[in-house]
Amino acid sequence: MKPRIAIAGFQHETNTFVPIPTPYEDFVRGGAWPAMTHGDEVISVFSGSKLPIGGFIDAATDWDLVPILWAGSEPSGYVSQAAFDRIAAMICDGIQKAYPVDGIYLDLHGAMVCEHYEDGEGELLRRLRAAFGPDLPIVVSLDLHGNLTPQFFERASAVTIYRTYPHIDMAETGARAKALMETRLQRGKDFARAYAQLDFIVPIQEQSTRRDPGARLYGMLDSLEGGGVDSVDFAFGFPPADIEHCGISVFAYGSDQADVDGARDRMVDALNAAEPEFDNPLVPAAEAVRRAIALAGTATRPVVLCDPQDNPGAGATGETTGLLTAMVDGGARSACLAMLWDPDTAQAAHAAGLDGEFNAAIGGLFPEIGGSPLAARVQVLALSDGDFVFTGPMFGGLHAQLGPMAALRILDGESDVTVIVGSRRAQNADQAMITHLGLDPLDYKILGIKSAVHFLADYEPIAETVIFAEAPGANPCRLDNIAYTRLRPGVRLGGGG
């Protein structure tokens, strides 16, 4: 008889430093992430997709899958208790109606913080264990940025974690979760398990697996498996979360406890040895623009300026004007910044129409975080409804619904800067953010990108070079400047220099 497996997803990466709460409606409507999906539609929507649940579905064609629910939201502030309780109840009640099942697969993030729970994923698992007992296999796939607690480790039967940042192996991670579930069902008993939490935090812009030491560390994982070890993974953690268990964690599973413990310890030793290699590459915005202009004079491809501290993909507001102002004041030519969250300016652009001009106050919706709006006369170069399909290595095939968008040329001063504004927050990790407006990123000498690392997958291949600019934002990358109040004692804040 085929294994009968309930599947569900509940994804949120919570930045506790932003003033944007996450209500239930954010999970319902979608944006850069798919809208809330129920029942059999989970199979039809996510099959073949690059998300973890898609990878699990595609790998489990020989099983009887019982799809319950998938819900996700753009990273932002605390998840409202009402939203968490409602979605968690949908998952628990849906599985109860489908019961009996042989196991549960969950597509989670690992860094969800709710109004009343620092560990959203751990609380969801607590509720599932209360409903279905300690023995039912529950296998979870997680984001590389999960802040995973000892309680979460105790409640999950096994986990798989992304091994790339940018996350181009999400579907593969879901498929690895299927393989672990299959192993667990075949053995008929729990895995030998090991967990460790490290005592330092790595800045998010230093976590990329396209560069060392991240590339080297994640490259070790396959070599740790074999013999009595089925799986080893680690999560770098998500720094902008003022919680006790923020930071790096290691997970190992297998059939032999001594082998599993040894694999965990080797990974922990390698991470500890790499701690001095994590530094901070940020360049003050005005200096970053000066460097970009100098390089652009002879470059044959765009110079990319990234704005990691205002990365909506890490929960930041996505509307700060520090880098944009530096580009304008610095006289950048043939430059484009994408995407800045500003629904009012996007609406004004649509009212003005193609080629229309108007006086805009761009961004600055939270001046206490990122400064005042940029006041400028602008011309409308392109308009869209924000409804398009991503094409890049990470999100390719997913359907974006970002509301009215516009490309605006700033007419004031000596610069030649275009800014793309949109109505829903989303990081720019995909060239389609620009190309769907009929613009070509290769036509610009300088590209400003509101992202921290994910943009590298689609933009670094076309870039002359990448410069990480330091401008105001709610995704703080200099960790020694973060006013943590709940972090466990003794944790070192890496990459402050």
Instruction: Show the 3-state SS of 217-231.
Output: HHHCHHHHCECCEEE
pLDDT digits 0-9 by tens, 424-476:
999 999 999 999 999 999 999 999 999 999 999 999 999 999 999 999 999 99
For residue 250, the SS3 value is strand
- As a whole number, mean pLDDT of residues 21-38 equals 94
Q: Which amino acid is at 62?
A: D
Task: With beta carbons less than 8 A apart as the criterion, state whether 73 and 194 touch.
Answer: no
> At 496, is the pLDDT very low, low, confident or very high (cuts 50, 70, 90)?
very low
- Measuring CA to CA, how many Å separate 51 from each of 68, 258, 330, 395? 16, 34, 40, 8
pLDDT confidence tier of residue 495, bands split at 50, 70 and 90: low
DSSP code, position 389: E
Distance CA 435, CA 470 (A): 26
Statement: residue 41 has pLDDT above 60:
yes
Cα 406 versus chain centre, distance = 24
Q: Which residues contact 315 (CB under 8 A, 6 or more apart)?
A: 13, 14, 15, 17, 18, 20, 75, 76, 77, 240, 474, 475
Could you read off the pLDDT of 473-491 as tens digits, one per residue? Answer: 999 998 988 889 999 999 9
Assessment of whether the complete model's pTM goes beyond 0.85: yes
Which residue is associated with the tokens 């560990």? 119
The two three-digit tokens of residue 193, written as one number: 């398990």
| Helix H or strand E segment including 303 | strand 303-306
pLDDT tens for each residue of 55-91: 999 999 999 999 999 999 999 999 999 999 999 999 9
Distance CA 196, CA 267 (A): 10
Interval 142-169 mean pLDDT: 98
DSSP three-state, residue 91: helix
Token digits of residue 200 = 């330092």
- Rounded CA-CA distance 425/15 in Å is 14
Residue 480's Cβ-side half-sphere holds a number of Cα atoms within 13 Å equal to 7
Asked if residue 34 has pLDDT above 80, the reply is yes
Render 127-171 in DSSP notation, one character per residue.
HHHHHH-SSS-EEEEE-TT----HHHHHH-SEEEE---SS---HH
Token duo for residue 339? 């995407």
**pLDDT, the chain, mean:** 96
Cis omega (within 30 of 0) on the bond before 36? no
Query: What is the arithmetic mean of pLDDT over 283-312?
Result: 98
* Mean of pLDDT values over 166-193: 98
Q: pLDDT grade, residue 1 (50/70/90)? A: confident
pLDDT at 279: 83
Region of residue 365 (left: phi > 0; alpha: psi -120 to 50; beta: else)? alpha
Strands 405-410 and 103-108: unpaired
